[in-house]
Structure 1
């Protein structure tokens, strides 16, 4: 009887060693970090599906993630940490020599949310750790004209969908998330190559970001524009063509109310002006008025850009909608950033799916979008940017109309007739209708 009992126990030990050794070949391939106003997000990529457990500790605040059967090779110190929620990532002593223990050191108490994303094209298993701030710092009004603003025009480029959200799927199996990411990368490259402009992508590879978190990137970056790239779809293959969308007035009013409710005191929105006002009811009235005007301006600028986008996109593809459309779209709710959503075509249409899979077509779409953005900002560059400086320094151009003379124009622009003649190389005081004159500073 004793021998009978010892043999199964010996086999159990051997089996345990074998299973432990077999699981030890999993490893962390890559770690990415991102931060929004209320959530820090860590994505770990693995060779195979990981087994994990986690728990939180206080004094100091940290989260401990145990990864079973994962080699301890990845250097967490190479991960770039941003924002004010997380201090650093580090290793700690695991339960077993075949495991990895990652410690996330936090600056405050954060609520963890952990889940696994299954493999998709180009990606293996991903373990996502989201640390949610239960008391996020309210987003303050953006002052783009202040002395500390970035001199570059900042454009947020949002590639729609991603990760476990593929978006629409074409008849041949094309995922919308791959098309949007490709066009977004091409647009980002064009913007970064333009002096005085800088692109910031909401996602740079295939991972999921909540639609509500995407406009937060615009607030964090003090952005001048948000452009979200998508591909449309329908239940039948016939519809085709692109369209451009802006936030509806109803959704804008809802977001205004939500923003004011989330702010504990309206004085946080008004800054130093609140010290002059003094009365809380008056503070709220002024805060609501200012934000209402700001959001109305953002929507008006979004419409203005939308018309430019349609003008350029129709040179590359057919347009399903000839005028800008409005809808209640979460991605367009950045409170003070003009925002547009571009549908580059119907992925459910077989011919448009084929076009969108053609790299040259995606490049042409990115170039068309870039031309519109460039023309829009050339006309109305944000205060404090290099483009605004260049525009102010550039001489004005005046096109002569009926009844105008050099003396009249000199009086209007506050320069002398001689200065006008010298700036334009004129030998006489005569001008003709339609003639373009450079007006000196």
Structure 2
């Protein structure tokens, strides 16, 4: 090959190499550009209307930034979500509005500008909106949450008044907006009758008894899920409603449910509701789950000051206490943190002793309809049992993770038997522990 020909060949090869490299670089840029500029994807939208508040949840594959403001005449909430484009999933939010939603009449969704979607909530009344994000947990990815609270929150006593079960003469807790006054040393806020040689001579007080029933989980938090797809939150709500009906057949008993529908209630709010109505008892209802499907039986738990009574009790308490993270409590809210701190610090020995008596009475009755997982009341640090002045128990009605017990829990007859057993246990407790007269809680 001559020298000019060799030079031309090398020049052609070099040009081709530059062309290939340039094309490769262009291809690499075209592949990387969508990744860096890609809008976040909305995976699911959910809506949870309730008298307490309405919650709207957007589940997505990344953390989202928002701006929001309200408008008057008519009342509206406007939310701009950055980094997303309008999608069929997001558009489906429009159809999620239910006619009986107390606070939202309709939702409008549109592309406000590139990569910014605007949501407009047409409201039925003025609300205090809380907009916050939740990090991935359990089965959920990132969540953007809008909680629409009424400016005038519903009072749990109002429902009892509407039902004709509350009079103006009843004592009322003023709430936890101000600290509870300090007690004299060694004086429990929920005192038992002083022991003596004639314990039955203590005067019995005839008055209305207020029972707070707490169906566990709800809304974003399904609780345990059975192999057949049963949700704990639905089963325990059904049992709680049956139990409410049975207790209210008694002439001196009335019941307040911490939730009466499928919506999330933070643990501290459940306790606060019970204290607001000056409850005599607090009964939290659940359906247990364990990694082994063979685990079975019913259990009753009380609070512990010194640690869990067993490893299983500690494991269960940790799982139940995670409800706020799964359900989506707005932990950035300073009031929620303050409330939790107050409740956690005021638990007393007297409250725990009364809770153990209540738990024993209920456990004996439940043992008549189902195998007991443990023959004694167990104890652990359940956050929902930390009302300082109310005997409180948590009932695990059965193992929803056990296929046989899951079938029982879905059976109307079993639910009714469980409700009847708990009711009988509560009545047995009061028969042995007559209620004291209650003054107005301050």
TM-score per shorter chain, which class?
A: 0.5 to 0.7
Give the count of matched residue pairs.
Answer: 290
The answer to whether structure 1 residue 101 and structure 2 residue 122 are counterparts is: yes
Unaligned runs of 5+ in 2: 1-45, 58-65, 81-89, 113-118, 135-143, 152-175, 182-187, 192-205, 309-334
Indicate the residue corresponding to 2:417 in structure 1.
Answer: 364
Query: Within 5 Å, which residues of 2 pair with 1:116-265?
Result: 128-129=146-147, 137-138=177-178, 140=180, 151-250=207-306
Residues 105 and 249 of structure 1, relative CA distance in 2, 3 Å threshold: same
**Distance 1:348-1:217 versus aligned 2 partners, 3 A rule:** same
Give the deviation of 1:220 after TM superposition: 1.8
Matched, 1:55 2:57: no
Secondary structure of the residue aligned to 1:331 is: helix
Residues 229-254 of structure 1, C-alpha deviations (whole Å, 9 max, x = no match): 111122122221111101111479xx
The 2-side partners of 1:30 and 1:330 are apart by: 24
Match status 1:64 vs 2:82: no
Task: Report the TM-score, using the length of structure 2 for normalisation.
Answer: 0.53
CA distance in 2 between partners of 1:215 and 1:304 (Å): 20
Shift of 1:319: 0.1
Give deviations 1:196-245, integer Å, cap 9, x for gaps.
Answer: 11111111121222233321221222111110111112212222111110
Kindly provide the CA deviation profile for residues 81-113 of structure 1, in whole angstroms up to 9, marking residues without a partner as x. Answer: xxxxxxx989999999x9653276469xx7544
- Provide closer, same or farther for how the CA distance between residues 216 and 100 of structure 1 changes in structure 2, counting only shifts above 3 A: closer
Distance 1:319 1:144, change over 3 A: closer
Question: Does the CA contact (< 8 Å) of 1:187 and 1:370 recur in 2?
Answer: yes
Equivalent residue, structure 2, for 1:334: 387
Cα deviation for residue 193 of structure 1 reads: 2.1
8 Å Cα contact 1:66-1:101 kept in structure 2: no
Deviation at 1:43, TM superposition (A): 3.8
Name the CA distance, whole Å, in 1 between partners of 2:106 and 2:287. Answer: 42
Q: Indicate which of 21, 24, 33 corresponds to 2:51.
A: 33
Question: How far apart are residue 192 of structure 1 and its match?
Answer: 2.0
Decide whether the 8 Å contact of 2:108 with 2:120 is kept in 1.
Answer: no
Q: In structure 2, how many angstroms separate the alpha carbons of the residues matched to 1:382 and 1:320?
A: 30
CA distance in 2 between partners of 1:375 and 1:195 (Å) = 16
Maintained 8 Å contact 1:33/1:43 = no
Q: Which runs of 5 or more structure 1 residues have no equivalent in the other structure?
A: 1-27, 35-40, 46-52, 80-87, 116-125, 253-258, 270-287, 386-441
Q: Per the alignment, in what secondary structure is the counterpart of residue 154 of structure 1?
A: strand
Taking the aligned partners of 1:91 and 1:165, their CA distance within structure 2 comes to 25
Is the 8 Å Cα contact of residues 227 and 340 (structure 1) preserved in structure 2? yes
**CA 1:179–1:89 in 2, change beyond 3 Å: closer, same or farther?**
closer
Cα pair distance change 1:151/1:93, threshold 3 Å? farther
Secondary structure in 1 aligned to 2:50? strand
Name the TM-score, length of structure 1 as normaliser: 0.53
Q: What CA distance in whole angstroms lies between the structure 1 residues aligned with 2:68 and 2:307?
A: 39
In the alignment, the residues of structure 2 paired with residue 244 and residue 162 of structure 1 have an alpha-carbon distance, to the nearest angstrom, of 21
Once the two structures are overlaid, the 10-residue window that deviates more, 357-366 or 213-222, is 213-222
Query: Are the structure 2 counterparts of residues 368 and 216 from structure 1 closer, same or farther at C-alpha, using a change threshold of 3 Å?
Result: same
Shift of 1:373: 0.5
Deviations 1:317-370 (A, max 9, x none): 000110010011111111211110001111122211111111101100000000
Q: Give distance in 2, aligned partners of 1:114 and 1:186.
A: 36
Matches within 5 A, 1:316-355: 316-355=369-408
Q: Quick one: distance in 1 between partners of 2:54 and 2:133? A: 10
1: distance between equivalents of 2:362 and 2:396? 11
Q: 1:221 to 1:65 in 2, by over 3 A?
A: farther
**What secondary structure sits across from 1:229 in the alignment?**
strand
In structure 2, the CA distance between the partners of 1:139 and 1:347, relative to structure 1 (3 Å rule), is farther
* Aligned-partner Cα distance in 2 for 1:372–1:43: 36
Distance 1:330 1:92, change over 3 A: closer
